[in-house]
Amino acid sequence: MAFLPITRRRFIGLAATAGAAALAADSILLEPNHPRIVRQHIALRRWPERLNGFTIALLSDFHYNAHFSVHPLHAAIGMINDLRPDLIALAGDFVSLSLVPYNREKDAAVAEPCSELLRQMQAPHGLWAVLGNHDVSTAPRLVIGALQARGIRVLLNQSVAIEQNGSRFWLAGVNDVLGHASDLGTTLHGIPSDEATILLAHEPDYADYVSRHPIDLQLSGHTHGGQVRIPLVGPLYLPELGRKYIQGLYTVGPLTLYTNAGLGTLRIPVRFNCPPEITLLTLMRSTT
14-69 residue pLDDT tens? 333 333 333 333 445 457 799 999 999 999 999 999 999 999 999 999 999 999 99
231-247 residue pLDDT tens? 999 999 999 999 999 99
pLDDT for the residue 24:
38
Contact (Cβ atoms closer than 8 angstroms) between residue 176 and residue 183:
no
Flag whether 179 is in a domain. yes
Give the whole-angstrom CA distance, residue 173 versus residue 188.
9
Give the whole-angstrom CA distance, residue 247 versus residue 144.
26
Predicted TM-score (pTM) of the model is 0.90
As beta bridge partners, residue 41 has: 282
Flag whether 75 is in a domain. yes
Q: Which domain holds residue 23?
A: 9-285
Contact (Cβ atoms closer than 8 angstroms) between residue 56 and residue 283:
yes
Indicate which CATH number applies to the domain containing 113.
Answer: 3.60.21.10
Query: Assign residue 185 a region: left if phi > 0, alpha if psi is -120 to 50, beta otherwise?
Result: alpha
- How would residue 9 be classed by pLDDT, with cut points 50, 70 and 90? low
Flag whether 3 is in a domain. no
Give the whole-angstrom CA distance, residue 84 versus residue 56.
9
Query: How many domains are there within the chain?
Result: 1
Q: How many CB atoms lie within 10 A of CB 5?
A: 5
Flag whether 107 is in a domain. yes
Flag whether 1 is in a domain. no
Q: How many residues does the chain have?
A: 288
pLDDT above 90 covers a percentage of the chain that reads 86
pLDDT for the residue 19:
35
pLDDT for the residue 155:
98
Flag whether 209 is in a domain. yes
> Is the pLDDT assigned to residue 257 strictly greater than 70?
yes
Nearest to 86 by CA among 145, 190, 168: 168
pLDDT for the residue 21:
33
The mean pLDDT value of the chain amounts to: 91
Task: Report the pLDDT averaged over residues 133-160.
Answer: 98
> Is the pLDDT assigned to residue 11 strictly greater than 90?
no
Flag whether 198 is in a domain. yes
**Cβ neighbours of residue 187 closer than 8 Å, sequence gap 6 or more:** 155, 157, 158, 159, 172, 173, 174, 199
Give the whole-angstrom CA distance, residue 163 versus residue 159.
13
Give the whole-angstrom CA distance, residue 158 versus residue 93.
18
Flag whether 144 is in a domain. yes
CA angle 198, 169, 95 (to 5 degrees): 40
- How would residue 102 be classed by pLDDT, with cut points 50, 70 and 90? confident
Give the whole-angstrom CA distance, residue 263 versus residue 58.
10
